[in-house]
Structure 1
Amino acid sequence: MQATVDLDDPTYLDAEYMQRIAYLVDAAAEPRRPLRVLHLGAGGLALARYTAATRPGSYQQAVETNEALIELVRAEAPLPRGVKVKIRRTDARAAVESAPEGSYEFVITDVYDGARVPAHLTGVEFLRAADRVLRPGGHYAANLCDGGQMTFLKPALAAMREVWPHVAVMAEPAVLRGRRFGNVVAAASAAELPIAALRRRCAGAAFPCRVVEGAELSEYIGGAAPATDATAIQSPPPPRSLRSF
């Protein structure tokens, strides 16, 4: 299921997890400064359109493996003239590993195989590759999901902590506690994250959520070992009640 794309208002994001990633993009630099962004998982290009509208002149590359989806977007929801978004059909990890060092200020991972996050995009090896292509002070963001015992999420977050000194998550408390299956947006950087700005935006959202970082995040992860290529698992499938397929 793809988020709604409003061709008349590209700043409209209906998916809550996309709104949370947008909070990070908004706080990453002074308003309207162009950014270089790599989107892993193109979808309907909702976040790319948002970035282009709020930061004109940004250079963005979007990676997608679903050729039918790419053609649908090009035919039914083409990008406005002058918007710099290059779409590539390739695997997300291959795109990261082949990208030049220090070439992006943002890497955003929103990749799902069906309704599950692929394991090979959560381990330390992949995250180190993502860090390599970030410019100094750049940001990594990922849309993850889990529920129950959080056996997927906690190792994925531990892997992020292994690569970056600053990591935070934005999610509803019931999701973080495993009482409800849902999305968790994780953000990371070698530089300080804009935690105060994220807290304000998350608290004032239509569906408020928490920002967890620092010692509180360390306590949440507990003894979970960082995910690696040898140990990473894909995220669990959503409950049947949440599926649209």
Structure 2
Amino acid sequence: MDRESTGPGRREVRFGTAELMRDLDRPNGWLLSVAGVAQSYVDLDDPTYLDFDYVRRIGDIIDALPAGPLRALHIGGGACTLPRYVAATRPGSRQLVFDLDAELIDFVRAHLDLRSVPDTRVRIADGRAGVASRPGNSADLIVLDAFERAAMPSGLVTVEFTRDVARVLRPRGTYVVNVSDGPGLRFARHVVATVLSVFDSAILLADPGVFRGRRFGNLVLAAGDLPVADLTRHAASGAFPARVLADDGLRAFAGRAAPITDAAPMAAPTPPETAFT
């Protein structure tokens, strides 16, 4: 998309400088970046428009869930692209967002009409503590899309945290994780091993170039009772086709990678350079 840095401009937030840039191709489209890294894209006129490829893949997973409103929990807020999408596509949904950056959320509230998103609350809290505060069997969907200075917080990818996510999910609930990794996908393999140690079934979607180790990028990992065949066909036929791994293929991808634990944490990788994705 073509961008210009006119509009609300910049603000210092917890993890760097936040900047809003207008999309010249869409009348009310905005790109939010923090410390030079693209964090969120929202179209205030059309919340169903998902600009980032990996966010579109998460949207496809949400679309594949049983019809009706959702009880959704989001770990990581940014501009709240996915809460806006759920509110628009699943009227009556009730959503809670945990984000650690109070200054960033204030910036989004002031300039991106966050208060207009129906039945959506944002709490300033660490994602792990936020999930721990929730009652069991209370969420249909939990989405983890949280970054601190371009890297996933290490405490949000452990077995202990993943077990707490499973506790909060309803029996047929879905857990979705945005994982970023580079060539070799070492971190992603350990995250997959972690999730598979808690959940019986999961799928992984990503651009084929990311799978082949050609570049740093995003992989979407989803655990739960999902229509794997339908999602695979949809991913293959999309404008930006994705490769899908499930079942034995996903376990083969994880290979001998050990689950990440609190006692043996693993630092998440950061992009080789700060750039828009």
TM-score for the superposition, normalised by structure 1: 0.94
**What does residue 253 of structure 2 align with?**
220
Question: Which whole-Å CA distance do the structure 2 matches of 1:208 and 1:56 have between them?
Answer: 29
Corresponding residue for 1:197? Answer: 230
The SS at the match of 2:176 is: strand
Work out the percentage of aligned pairs sharing the same amino acid.
44
**Which gives a bigger RCO, structure 1 or 2 (Cα 8 Å, sep 6+)?**
1
How much has 1:177 moved relative to structure 2? 2.8
Report the counterpart of residue 3 of structure 1 in structure 2. Answer: 40
Distance of 1:94 and 1:137 partners within structure 2: 23
State the partner residue of 1:207. 240
Alignment-derived partner of residue 33 in structure 2: none
User: Equivalents in 2 of 1:67, 1:26: separation in Å?
Assistant: 30
d(CA) in 1 for partners of 2:43, 2:49: 7
C-alpha spacing 1:82/1:220, structure 2 compared with 1 (3 Å):
closer
> What letter matches 1:20 in structure 2?
R
1:143 pairs with 2:175: no
RMSD between aligned residues: 1.3
- Separation in 2 of the partners of 1:83 and 1:131? 26
Structure 1 unaligned blocks of 5 or more:
none
Q: Distance in 2 between matches of 1:173 and 1:5?
A: 25
Q: Which amino acid aligns with 1:47?
A: L
The equivalent of 1:47 in structure 2 is 82
Checking the alignment, whether the CA contact within 8 Å between 1:146 and 1:178 is kept in structure 2 is: no
Residue aligning to 1:233: 266
Query: How many angstroms does 1:3 deviate by?
Result: 2.0
Q: Partner amino acid for 2:267?
A: Q
Deviates more, 1:196-205 or 1:10-19: 196-205
Question: What is the aligned counterpart of 2:58 among 21, 27, 36?
Answer: 21
- Shift of residue 220, structure 1, vs aligned partner: 1.1
Bigger radius of gyration among the two: 2
2:175 aligned partner, one-letter code = Y
Structure 1's 177 and 82: CA in aligned 2 closer, same or farther, altered over 3 A? closer
Q: 2:204, 2:222 within 8 Å by CA — same for their partners in 1? A: yes
Say whether the 8 Å CA contact 2:109–2:115 is kept in structure 1.
Answer: no
Cα drift, residue 218 of structure 1: 1.1
Q: Which amino acid aligns with 1:146?
A: D
Q: Distance between the aligned counterparts of 1:170 and 1:198, measured in 2?
A: 9
Choose which of 149, 167, 184 in structure 2 pairs with 1:114.
149
Structure 2 length as normaliser, TM-score? 0.83
CA contact (8 A) 1:118 1:233 kept: no
| 14-23 or 225-234: bigger deviation | 225-234
Any idea what the Cα deviations from partners look like across 1:4-29, whole Å, max 9, x if unmatched?
Answer: 21110000010111111111110111
Q: In the aligned structure 1, how far is the partner of 2:196 from the partner of 2:80? A: 28
Give 5+ residue unaligned stretches, structure 2: 1-37
Q: Distance in 2 between matches of 1:225 and 1:80?
A: 42
Superposed CA offset, 1:172-202 (max 9, x none):
222123232110000001xx32112211221
Could you tell me how far apart the structure 2 residues matched to 1:130 and 1:155 are?
17
Equivalent pairs counted in the alignment come to 239
